[in-house]
Amino acid sequence: MKQRLLDLLGIEYPIIEGGMAYIGDGKLAAAVSNAGAFGQVGSAGRPLADFEEQIRLAAELTTKPFGVNLPIGEHSDPRERVETILKYKDKIRAVSISAGNPRPFIPVFKEAGLPVMVVVSTAMHAAKAEQAGADILIAEGTEAGGHNGPAELTTFALIPQAVSAVTVPVIAAGGVADGRGVAAALALGAAGVQLGTVLIATEESPAHDNYKQALLAARGEDTTMMERSVGGVTRVLRGPYIDEVLAFEKTRPTRETLYPYIKGEKNRLAVLEGQMEQGYAYSGQGVGLIREILPVEQVIRNLIAEARATIAALPSL
């Protein structure tokens, strides 16, 4: 399965950059791909023209394969993004689809020759996505930063269940922050891992330094969920802004009255402008393992070396 994943994506290491709203730009995607892993340009949080620009930039900055992420529910009209992806199909190696029903989109990309990865959070959805034609599944546990699946399965519980439910490679996402996590994911049957939070705290990431420093300072218990009052599950860094949001959520808002607190602009303010008290920032629970801001290549190299050492040092039963 690991080899199948490496062959499908044309990569050296079974590590993928998760789609990341505002953060997943062309420069970061290229840095990840240049390090032998799989970078992805995210479509969330950027206007259509910028999405196109970031795809072009990634293609300029790397000769290695990279992908794009399409979170369907983030766009009022995802068809425009689909058109852009198809326009650049010769530069893009694969597409990941999240946040919505992937069924109508999978054949469109596959007909264009692009392998499709689908982000799922239960074994049942993994099986459905495979039936719909997904080539790779990204099984994301609730440790992950950002929008989570409502079932809130942990990565540890989800991965073996998803692996047992399908015949295509499964990538583990959520809470993987060092080489021990990579080794554990492989032990659970995953073909590789998807990283989010760890890649924000890198030199090439466009995150504001205040966000990077907040990640360095945070411990594993410093994340929480927002949007529960309206049926959402979104993992964010704790802080004064989130205290305000959670206090408002206690008043049982509607989606409309909560919207001013959780709209994308509030995310942008924190993560790109560094106004951490005026907006929110996503983080996964693995944040407690981030100790320094490093170049992406070093992060990937450390992960691989530590995963190899972990596997070699496993005690026998």
User: Where are the strands (E) in 152-263, listed by range?
Assistant: 170-173, 192-195, 223-226, 234-237
User: Does residue 220 contact residue 43 with C-beta atoms inside 8 Å?
Assistant: no
Min CB(134)–ligand FMN separation in Å: 14
284 in contact with ligand FMN (CB under 6 A): yes
Here's the x/- map for ligand FMN, 79-98, by CB under 6 A: it reads as: -------------------x
Nearer to ligand FMN by C-beta: 181 or 253? 181
140 in contact with ligand FMN (CB under 6 A): yes
Cα–Cα distance list, 74 to 42, 118, 219, 264 (Å): 11, 15, 29, 10
195 in contact with ligand FMN (CB under 6 A): yes
User: Does residue 205 contact residue 30 with C-beta atoms inside 8 Å?
Assistant: no
Residues 23-52 that bind ligand FMN (CB under 6 A): 23, 42, 44
Give the number of residues in contact with ligand FMN, rule: CB under 6 A.
29
21 in contact with ligand FMN (CB under 6 A): yes
118: which strand partners? 97, 137
Min CB(243)–ligand FMN separation in Å: 20
Q: How far apart are the first and last CA of the chain?
A: 25
120 in contact with ligand FMN (CB under 6 A): no
Pairing state between β 192-195 and 15-17: parallel
Task: State the DSSP code for 272.
Answer: T
Residue (of 223, 96, 230, 78) closest to 150 by Cα position: 230
Min CB(74)–ligand FMN separation in Å: 6
Contacting residues toward ligand FMN, per CB under 6 A: 18-21, 23, 42, 44, 69, 71, 98, 119, 140, 143-146, 173-176, 194-198, 200, 282, 284, 286
